[in-house]
Structure 1
Amino acid sequence: MTPTLAPIDWAVLIATLLIIVGYGTWKTRGSKNVQDYVRGGNTSQWWTIGLSVMATQASAITFLSTTGQAFSDGMGFVQFYFGLPIAMVIICLVFIPLYHRLKVYTAYEFLENRFDLKTRSLTAILFLIQRGLAAGITIFAPAIILSVVLGWNIVTLNIIIGTLVIIYTVSGGTKAVTVTQKQQMFVIFAGMLAALFIVIDLIPKEVSFVDAIDIAGATGKMQVLDFSFDLENRYTVWTGLIGGTFLMLSYFGTDQSQVQRYLSGRSMKEMQMGLMFNGLLKVPMQFFILLVGVMVFVFYQFNPAPLNFIDKSTETVLNSEYGDEYRSLQEKQNVLFTEKQELSLKLSTDEGERTRIQLSKLDSIEKNYRLESKFLIKKAIDSEYANEYTRLQNELEGLRANPVSDAFINKKDELNNLYKDSAKDTQTNDRDYMFIRFILNHLPVGLIGLLLAVILSAAMSSTASEINALATITSIDLYQRNQKEDLGEEHTVKMTKWFTLLWGIIAITIACFADLAENLIQLVNIIGSIFYGNVLGIFLLAFFFKYIKGNAVFVGALITQAIVIIGWWFDWMPYLWLNLFGCVLVILIANVLEFIKPSKK
């Protein structure tokens, strides 16, 4: 059943979004030169840069998937960000002084000066591929939310959300993105604080915050640090410090969506202070968001939770031949809930280690129930489409004697639509739905609208940064650089606006074909890890290996990218290690190629 928003929630949601879009469009109207449109006129102060950098990274995926990750697996995901402060220091000492001295508009201009045009173009294209994909996913995430809230088609919502972002990004360029992100971050901080206080308040009064932490700890949700060297474990202190550092170096040092944020600073000092501000605040912010997800988990120790947070999936399986099996699972979970509730209350009155162990075992049992429920849902959906598929195939066979008839064509179209629907609806992963379901079912009127505005503001800020950067790279690194004559600043700004519109449309198109995959935030980071290590290696070659020439780097980058994609496809290592792997590999291959046959610049 689709939830209904109260009028006050609609008012809060619509007013927040319209104010942000309207303010960004009005404040930055009339950007006529490249300096203003691409670098924001170099007027940003350090705190504006810091908030803009954080807003670019904090997409809707952050709030949907990170809370869902904590609900399912606990606080360990925060280790992913341990390399961030290290990366910020290195970027402030190495990258920013170089970019500032060369007065570049994009990070990849430097590569042409150091190597050659083809290396600059290749690196720019790698950025366009990975960031274009990510931009589509950042639109898809909030579309999921509104599809739950409104019952609207996800494709329609992708178009609406993407259009809102395009309006002010095309109008004002980098300055519009930066200006609006300050308001968006204010909404985000206010909303997440409110969510934490509300969820704690909803936990029974006899259970204090310390008790809630203890309950979460008993089920392993508060285990933050993992010092193991198990490569099968995605999130450990070492993957965060090593793989995470290389990922963050690539993202903040070479990804134009981030580089463009701090290049708008009024001085090198402002740029450096802005990045350090982000480095100091980002890890606590992610810890806080994960804590919200853990507190929602504790809330559900005292309140019944669905086996699956996607209502449509539950309805499908209950109406299928597997309905009785699913109801049996629901009954088992109800019995389990009563036991967990009693144990949680005991633990809050200091019942000891035995209670902790019992609660942990019950939590493991419930996880198995959830896995069983997903399996049943998948079978039910497949069965539903299988029966429909058989019926349509039989009807099609009867019409095959006249394949040009309207009846045959209509049945063929119906069968094709069935394939599309089957691919779209076979989603059983519900972690990304957990937080939105909690918001809609348990938060008070008014706050629901605010939390929806938080998630949509985050999506808009991140998507705006991405399509702004994509357009800049396309315009400056590819279009303008390959023109034989200088067409003037007004023409460059005009073309950048057209490229912004084009990339906005591409992002919307990608969003329409997106899937939940395993977990949205992991999907974005996996895409980045496939490309970022290679790109970072190219930059490190430019910084520190003065004897390496352009041909060796270009060929080495192509070989490295192919190997990294193969390594990801065959799951050679956890995805975070791909950043280190790609970085080291391109450096080694370029050195070998240079040694075998010295290249000319």
Structure 2
Amino acid sequence: MNKGFSTIDWIVLAFYLIAVVIIGGSFYGKQKSGKDYLLAGRRMSWFPIAISIIATDLSAISYMGIPALVYKHDLKYMLSAFLFPFQMALVIIIFVPLLYRLNIYTAYEYLERRFNTSTRLLAACLFIGGRGAWLATMTFATSVVLTEITGINTYVAILICGISTTLYTFLGGMEAVVWTDFMQFFVLLGGALAIALFILFAYGWDVTRVWDVATATGHTTMFDFSLDPSREYTFWGMLIGLLVYQLSTYGTDQINVQRYFATKNLKQTIWAAAGSAMILLPVLLLLYGIGIGFTAFYHDHADMRASLSSADRVMPHFTVNVLPTGLRGLVIAGIFAATMSSMSSGINSLATSTLKDLLEKMSRKIVDRELFWARLISAFWGLAATAGATLMVDLKLTILERFNSIYQFFAGPLVGIFLLGMLTTRASAWPVSAGAIVGFVATAASARWTSIHWLWYAPIGCLVTLVVGYLGSLFAPQQRSEEIKQYTLLGSRELSVKTSQ
């Protein structure tokens, strides 16, 4: 077994980091307006956008967490990979055309047109709060793993990841983010393939043997049809919980919606959304396959199993103790790529929402220097995420692992607000906002005082928002249906048909 991080591994990692900053920095000076900086001038084609969506979704937590989940449990969570294309189809039907045709910068601008400014501000704050916390947590969690593998100080790992990502995002804006995401996707894919091929090589390319060992140890179970909401990863929890969560993530979350707005036209946007679902599926299956490989390998190597402190650390443990020189550097570059692609997308989307949804509503003078403020706010969010990650160093990991599920609290109410606006003309502003607040509180209370699994957090928040928002609207003054009909799903389609005739 090999141990340690060699000079060659450091060279591989350094080459990756330098390449990312150079690629991102090469777009500096090409932006002439806020639209160029925040939306890449709305001139991107579907393929790089599709890859960027995938790279953003595959944070290091997912990249390392999926194989660890299989190693620790089984394949029940793999259902999410097969459900994703169907969930994305609903996003394309419900959200994408309506939002794209409005020619807006953020998803929450839609809510101002459909309801009022207060609803827009509430939704933007939900997004900023959830994604801001997620950004710092993800950066810290990855840095801890990098420290374990490379031996570098955790603070140094945070600074390397945070400052380099902030630098190229600040310099190049959305276009830099998309093209660095594009490159980083293939780096993280290369790292995953290196692990998978090495395990297969160790087993003489006998896939059946690997599967049989995993089956014998109970790691290939795929379905649990229990109705108990406290059980982990049941079929029903996956079907319902992930549907709501993915509708929120890909239909209302600025981190993904901003990519839809960066394309040349609606057709390109639809291709990007659909393409991301089709391309992501085999990548996810590869990660689940790696988990099966870890299960077999560690079962057959008792010494390795004994030295593994936690199932959550199986990928970094395997990387540093098993993989040969050079491949270790590639896998660590893949972990960096998974983190930096998600972080850059988070910085860019948080900057866009902060600028367009908050600051420009407070002062119209900011519009005159939009490009300057966009860069400044991007730098702020990058440095804030880096600083937030450093503050987490002394916290216990168990606290952070629970903290990671907090974004679920925001996802349910957010998608509830949008569904009320898009599917009915009856919903009114203040009842919808009240419903979202009650939905958030209900989700937090469920997490605090019940034992239900986190997959149910988003459905609870969404359902409460829908019920309270709609029932409250029955007793509120109704908006003029003709004015708001164009902002509903059916009304938007009718308007599109009339325009095309």
TM-score, structure 1 as length reference = 0.76
Contact kept, 8 Å, 2:244 with 2:412, in 1: the verdict is: yes
Contact kept, 8 Å, 1:432 with 1:519, in 2: the verdict is: no
Question: Which position in structure 2 is the counterpart of 1:357?
Answer: none
Contact kept, 8 Å, 1:169 with 1:464, in 2: the verdict is: yes
Q: Say whether residues 1:437 and 2:317 are aligned partners.
A: yes
Question: Which position in structure 1 is the counterpart of 2:498?
Answer: none
**Is 175-184 or 152-161 further displaced after alignment?**
152-161
Alignment of 1:69-218 (within 5 A): 69-203=69-203, 205=204, 208-218=206-216
Q: Secondary structure at the match of 1:596?
A: coil
- Distance in 2 between residues matched to 1:139 and 1:110, nearest whole Å: 31
Question: Which position in structure 2 is the counterpart of 1:557?
Answer: 436
Q: Say whether residues 1:528 and 2:407 are aligned partners.
A: yes
Question: Which position in structure 1 is the counterpart of 2:446?
Answer: 567
The 1:264–1:559 alpha-carbon spacing in structure 2 relative to 1, beyond 3 Å, is same
**Is 28-37 or 531-540 further displaced after alignment?**
28-37
Question: Which position in structure 1 is the counterpart of 2:486?
Answer: none
- Distance in 2 between residues matched to 1:487 and 1:59, nearest whole Å: 33
Question: Which position in structure 1 is the counterpart of 2:386?
Answer: 508
- Distance in 2 between residues matched to 1:235 and 1:287, nearest whole Å: 17
Describe the superposition over 1:552-589 as per-residue Cα deviations: whole angstroms up to 9, x where unpaired: 11222222211211111113522112212211111111
Amino acid of the structure 2 residue aligned with 1:9: D
Contact kept, 8 Å, 2:352 with 2:374, in 1: the verdict is: yes
Contact kept, 8 Å, 1:81 with 1:244, in 2: the verdict is: no
Q: Secondary structure at the match of 1:305?
A: helix
Q: Secondary structure at the match of 1:266?
A: coil
Q: Say whether residues 1:267 and 2:274 are aligned partners.
A: no
Q: Say whether residues 1:585 and 2:482 are aligned partners.
A: no
**Is 179-188 or 136-145 further displaced after alignment?**
136-145
Contact kept, 8 Å, 2:27 with 2:171, in 1: the verdict is: no
Q: Secondary structure at the match of 1:195?
A: helix
- Distance in 2 between residues matched to 1:81 and 1:555, nearest whole Å: 34
Describe the superposition over 1:302-338 as per-residue Cα deviations: whole angstroms up to 9, x where unpaired: 222244534xxxxxxxxxxxxxxxxxxxxxxxxxxxx
Amino acid of the structure 1 residue aligned with 2:375: K
Q: Say whether residues 1:62 and 2:65 are aligned partners.
A: no
Describe the superposition over 1:350-382 as per-residue Cα deviations: whole angstroms up to 9, x where unpaired: xxxxxxxxxxxxxxxxxxxxxxxxxxxxxxxxx
Q: Secondary structure at the match of 1:576?
A: helix
The 1:93–1:499 alpha-carbon spacing in structure 2 relative to 1, beyond 3 Å, is same
Shift of 1:270: 0.9
- Distance in 2 between residues matched to 1:119 and 1:297, nearest whole Å: 48
- Distance in 2 between residues matched to 1:140 and 1:432, nearest whole Å: 15
- Distance in 2 between residues matched to 1:70 and 1:262, nearest whole Å: 32
Q: Secondary structure at the match of 1:228?
A: coil
The structure having more radius of gyration, on CA atoms, is 1
- Distance in 2 between residues matched to 1:560 and 1:522, nearest whole Å: 19
Contact kept, 8 Å, 2:431 with 2:473, in 1: the verdict is: yes
Question: Which position in structure 1 is the counterpart of 2:326?
Answer: 446
Shift of 1:216: 0.3
The 1:521–1:82 alpha-carbon spacing in structure 2 relative to 1, beyond 3 Å, is farther
Contact kept, 8 Å, 1:44 with 1:265, in 2: the verdict is: yes
Q: Secondary structure at the match of 1:232?
A: coil
- Distance in 1 between residues matched to 2:441 and 2:402, nearest whole Å: 21
Question: Which position in structure 1 is the counterpart of 2:496?
Answer: none
Question: Which position in structure 1 is the counterpart of 2:484?
Answer: none
Alignment of 1:269-418 (within 5 A): 269-303=267-301, 304-307=303-306, 309-310=308-309
The 1:471–1:173 alpha-carbon spacing in structure 2 relative to 1, beyond 3 Å, is same
- Distance in 2 between residues matched to 1:267 and 1:520, nearest whole Å: 40
Contact kept, 8 Å, 2:4 with 2:321, in 1: the verdict is: no
- Distance in 1 between residues matched to 2:307 and 2:41, nearest whole Å: 49
Question: Which position in structure 1 is the counterpart of 2:370?
Answer: 492
Shift of 1:517: 4.2
The 1:209–1:519 alpha-carbon spacing in structure 2 relative to 1, beyond 3 Å, is farther
Question: Which position in structure 1 is the counterpart of 2:495?
Answer: none
The 1:540–1:495 alpha-carbon spacing in structure 2 relative to 1, beyond 3 Å, is same
Shift of 1:448: 0.6
**Is 438-447 or 280-289 further displaced after alignment?**
280-289
Q: Secondary structure at the match of 2:41?
A: helix
- Distance in 2 between residues matched to 1:579 and 1:14, nearest whole Å: 40
Q: Secondary structure at the match of 2:107?
A: coil
Question: Which position in structure 2 is the counterpart of 1:322?
Answer: none
Shift of 1:496: 1.6
Q: Say whether residues 1:474 and 2:472 are aligned partners.
A: no
Contact kept, 8 Å, 1:75 with 1:287, in 2: the verdict is: no
Describe the superposition over 1:420-448 as per-residue Cα deviations: whole angstroms up to 9, x where unpaired: xxxxxxxxxx2332211110111011111
- Distance in 1 between residues matched to 2:150 and 2:243, nearest whole Å: 40
Shift of 1:215: 1.0
- Distance in 2 between residues matched to 1:245 and 1:461, nearest whole Å: 24
* RMSD of equivalent CA atoms: 2.1
Question: Which position in structure 1 is the counterpart of 2:488?
Answer: none
The 1:308–1:111 alpha-carbon spacing in structure 2 relative to 1, beyond 3 Å, is farther
Contact kept, 8 Å, 2:442 with 2:464, in 1: the verdict is: no
**Is 40-49 or 233-242 further displaced after alignment?**
233-242
The 1:300–1:519 alpha-carbon spacing in structure 2 relative to 1, beyond 3 Å, is farther
Q: Secondary structure at the match of 1:225?
A: coil
Question: Which position in structure 2 is the counterpart of 1:242?
Answer: 240
Shift of 1:516: 6.8
- Distance in 2 between residues matched to 1:138 and 1:32, nearest whole Å: 32
Shift of 1:156: 2.8
- Distance in 2 between residues matched to 1:140 and 1:155, nearest whole Å: 9
Shift of 1:112: 0.3
- Distance in 2 between residues matched to 1:486 and 1:226, nearest whole Å: 56
- Distance in 2 between residues matched to 1:21 and 1:519, nearest whole Å: 33
- Distance in 2 between residues matched to 1:445 and 1:279, nearest whole Å: 34
The 1:284–1:228 alpha-carbon spacing in structure 2 relative to 1, beyond 3 Å, is farther
- Distance in 2 between residues matched to 1:282 and 1:146, nearest whole Å: 25
The 1:523–1:198 alpha-carbon spacing in structure 2 relative to 1, beyond 3 Å, is farther
The 1:240–1:281 alpha-carbon spacing in structure 2 relative to 1, beyond 3 Å, is farther
Q: Secondary structure at the match of 1:437?
A: helix
Shift of 1:456: 0.3
Amino acid of the structure 1 residue aligned with 2:416: G
Shift of 1:597: 3.9
